[in-house]
């Protein structure tokens, strides 16, 4: 059947799909708009399937803090190219997913993807955008923290996001030091708040590396364990947040920076998300 340019334009505005794709969908659907939308969505699903093995190393992090500063939410939306990461539709979807995450506090990433935006699941919206843009797009991270005071940091390139949970104070000074610590985490990438949070497999790996290095240096076997423990403690100093030197003042570590603000101030947890 003949499809008018007006109908094609109407479907394009409804779906964001290309003009030729809309015309072909309407022709295949015999002018039925609902069926044409279904056809276009199926095209998106095919694109999603074709590109399932593609790496989504670009994208953006989106962060929201509640007005009272006691909760923060972060999501990461990934794509294949930096060009798409700056696309208005991509950014709008990222903001919509963030709002859904903030409003509903889902249990995990899988639960987030099942949430509805305007009556349709996030997964469906992702499929639609993949059909329109032609790249693999996925929500790769979802983090949420609650505390007496939360701080966040989003790097200028949009690809690094940090949330920090602070307990023990909620004054303005905490907000300032919280942002400093969030920036510290983005720059120095600690593995945990302190040594108690370092996964056991990492501890064992560092100990084995320390032992092997000592043996390679010809150290006596009876002191190898002690040397390895020394190297592990050095690892803690460099790779756990509270023991790291403060990037703004190397004369202090982060634990001392917190104590300078309030002796009861603690970092309860942090979340770091890096795209790429």
> What mean pLDDT comes out for the span 265-274?
97
Q: Report how far residue 220's alpha carbon sits from residue 223's, in angstroms, rounded to the nearest whole number.
A: 6
In this prediction, residue 46 carries a pLDDT of 67
Residue 16 has pLDDT above 80, yes or no: no
Residue 194 lies in a domain: no
In this prediction, residue 45 carries a pLDDT of 65
In this prediction, residue 41 carries a pLDDT of 78
Residue 2 has pLDDT above 90, yes or no: no
Residue 172 lies in a domain: no
Do residues 90 and 139 share a domain?
yes
Residue 169 lies in a domain: no
Do residues 203 and 120 share a domain?
no
Residue 14 lies in a domain: yes
> What mean pLDDT comes out for the span 198-207?
94
Instruction: Kindly report the number of other CB atoms within 10 A of residue 146's CB atom.
Output: 14
Question: Sorting pLDDT into bands at 50, 70 and 90, what band is 43?
Answer: confident
CATH code at 230?
1.10.286
Farthest CA pair distance, the chain: 88
In this prediction, residue 47 carries a pLDDT of 64
The phi and psi torsions of 39 (rounded to 5 degrees) equal: -65, -45
Spell out the residues 6+ positions from residue 154 whose beta carbon is closer than 8 angstroms to its own: 61, 63, 160, 161, 162
Residue-number span of the structural domain to which 9 is assigned: 1-35
Taking CA atoms, 102 is separated from 27, 96, 213, in Å, by 41, 10, 48
> What mean pLDDT comes out for the span 252-264?
95
For 168-183, write each residue's pLDDT tens digit: 976 777 889 999 999 9
Which of 146, 178, 207 terminates a domain? The answer is 146
Task: Provide the domain count of the chain.
Answer: 3
Do residues 25 and 79 share a domain?
no
Do residues 30 and 84 share a domain?
no
Residue 205 lies in a domain: yes
> What mean pLDDT comes out for the span 113-120?
93
| Average pLDDT over the chain, rounded to an integer | 92
């Amino acid at each position: 059947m003949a499809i008018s340019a007006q109908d094609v334009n109407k479907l394009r505005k409804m779906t964001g799909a290309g003009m030729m794709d809309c015309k072909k969908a309407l022709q295949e659907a015999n002018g039925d708009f609902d069926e044409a939308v279904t056809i276009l969505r199926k095209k998106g699903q095919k694109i999603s399937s074709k590109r399932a093995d593609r790496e989504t190393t670009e994208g953006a992090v989106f962060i929201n803090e509640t007005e009272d500063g006691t909760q923060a939410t972060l999501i990461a939306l990934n794509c294949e190219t930096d060009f798409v990461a700056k696309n208005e539709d991509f950014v709008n979807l990222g903001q919509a997913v963030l709002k859904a995450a903030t409003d509903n506090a889902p249990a995990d990433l899988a639960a987030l993807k099942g949430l509805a935006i305007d009556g349709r699941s996030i997964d469906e919206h992702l499929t639609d955008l993949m059909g329109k843009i032609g790249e693999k797009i996925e929500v790769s991270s979802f983090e949420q923290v609650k505390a007496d005071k939360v701080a966040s940091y989003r790097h200028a390139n949009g690809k690094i996001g940090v949330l920090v949970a602070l307990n023990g104070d909620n004054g303005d000074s905490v907000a300032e030091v919280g942002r400093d610590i969030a920036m510290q985490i983005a720059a120095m990438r600690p593995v945990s708040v302190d040594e108690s949070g370092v996964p056991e497999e990492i501890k064992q790996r560092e100990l084995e590396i320390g032992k092997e290095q000592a043996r390679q240096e010809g150290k006596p076997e009876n002191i190898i364990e002690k040397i390895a423990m020394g190297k592990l403690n050095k690892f803690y100093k460099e790779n756990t947040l509270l023991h790291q030197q403060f990037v703004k003042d190397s004369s202090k570590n982060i634990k001392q920076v917190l104590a300078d603000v309030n002796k009861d101030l603690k970092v309860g947890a942090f979340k770091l998300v890096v795209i790429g």
